[in-house]
Homo-oligomer: A and B are copies of this chain.
Amino acid sequence: MSNIPRIQGVLSPVLTPFKANLEPDVPRYIAHCKWLLANNVGLAIFGTNSEAASLSVSERLALTDALLAAGIPAHRMMPGTGACSFTDAVTLTKHAATSGAAGCLMLPPFYFKGVSDEGLYAYYSEVIERVGNANLKVYLYHIPAVSGVPITLNLIAMLRKAYPDTVVGVKDSSGVWDNTKAMIDQFAKDGFDVFPGSELPLTQALAIGGVGCISATANVNPAAIHAVYAAYTANGGTPETAALQAGIDSVRKIFQALVMIPAMKRVAAEFSGQPEWATVRPPLTQLDAAVVPNLLAQLKALGFDMPGFSRQ
């Protein structure tokens, strides 16, 4: 069992910048990761909001290697390594574990629906056994509205029992507080790290044993979200912490009302002065131009900014 401290706090499913020809823009990707790290946000590369599903395995491996070559520390990374095929998941997870990643955020196989917990257990087990790395830390990824395949409390219990030092956490993107609370209540006391998939319940989760959040909007609002984590960790649920939480909630809700990936990329384009940032891979489409002025006006009204965001 590894004694490396667990990654906790605020992480972001890192937006993947594309060039106009839809290839990943590697220099911009590295710059974005550095900016997130400078704002104390960890790198959940290849999450839903990274459009990881729209990247091939080889593209994901090449991007990881590019980050490592640029000096981005592996211990601040939690790559998404789940895939429909366990053979792909093994390839991705082995690479991440060998690279020294803090953990792997693993979707269940998401093509077949209505599969049993036994089948999902077998999938995770195959990956863990075939990777065979004692330092591997797996975080389960519950995002049923997208994957269509839930990570149940029962499945977590099965995996915790078999792999207590490997299956060490979950990202709960259900958006259902009662589910997040149940995960924390049932498993946190034994060292299972629960990250809500949004900053909206951040202090609420920290108060009962959650360890942070993994949030898409940390791509655009990292410092303010981390400030809530830091304030709660230092001082608990003070009125000041509550005020900071209210501030990040307001920003989140603006993005959440839109298709989030195109909206965040459009804002990144705006604040970097680089229109190419708005590029998404199909099947996503760029944000409807008609909604952009209102989006920017709403953000401006909140005093939103992205200080230091790369203008390269």
Residues A54 and B109 in contact, CB atoms below 8 Å apart: yes
Residues A119 and B284 in contact, CB atoms below 8 Å apart: yes
How many angstroms from the CA of A55 to the CA of B113 in the assembled complex?
17
Among A29-37, A83-91, A236-244, the stretch that binds chain B is A83-91
Instruction: Please give, as numbers and ranges, the residues of chain B lying within 8 Å of A281 by CB-CB distance.
Output: 85-86
Residues B55 and A119 in contact, CB atoms below 8 Å apart: no
Residues 82-115 of A contacting B (Cβ, < 8 Å): 84-88, 91, 108-113, 115
Question: Which of chain B's residues has its CB closest to A51's CB?
Answer: B112
Known: A53-B84, A55-B85. A113 touches B285 (CB 8 A): no
Is A59 interfacial (CB 8 A cutoff)?
yes
How many angstroms from the CA of A55 to the CA of B86 in the assembled complex?
8
How many angstroms from the CA of A146 to the CA of B109 in the assembled complex?
12
Residues B110 and A111 in contact, CB atoms below 8 Å apart: yes
How many angstroms from the CA of A56 to the CA of B57 in the assembled complex?
9
Taking residues whose C-beta sits less than 8 angstroms from the other chain, chain A's interface range is 35 or more
Is A120 interfacial (CB 8 A cutoff)?
yes
Instruction: Please give, as numbers and ranges, the residues of chain B lying within 8 Å of A125 by CB-CB distance.
Output: 282
Residues A111 and B22 in contact, CB atoms below 8 Å apart: no
Is A145 interfacial (CB 8 A cutoff)?
yes
Residues A283 and B85 in contact, CB atoms below 8 Å apart: no
Residues 52-70 of A contacting B (Cβ, < 8 Å): 53-57, 59
Instruction: Please give, as numbers and ranges, the residues of chain B lying within 8 Å of A22 by CB-CB distance.
Output: 86, 126
**A binding-site residues for B, Cβ under 8 Å:** 22, 48, 53-57, 59, 84-88, 91, 108-113, 115-116, 118-120, 122-123, 125-126, 145-149, 281-285
Add 7 more A-B contacts to A53-B112, A54-B85 (CB < 8 A): A48-B111, A59-B85, A85-B281, A110-B111, A115-B283, A116-B285, A126-B282
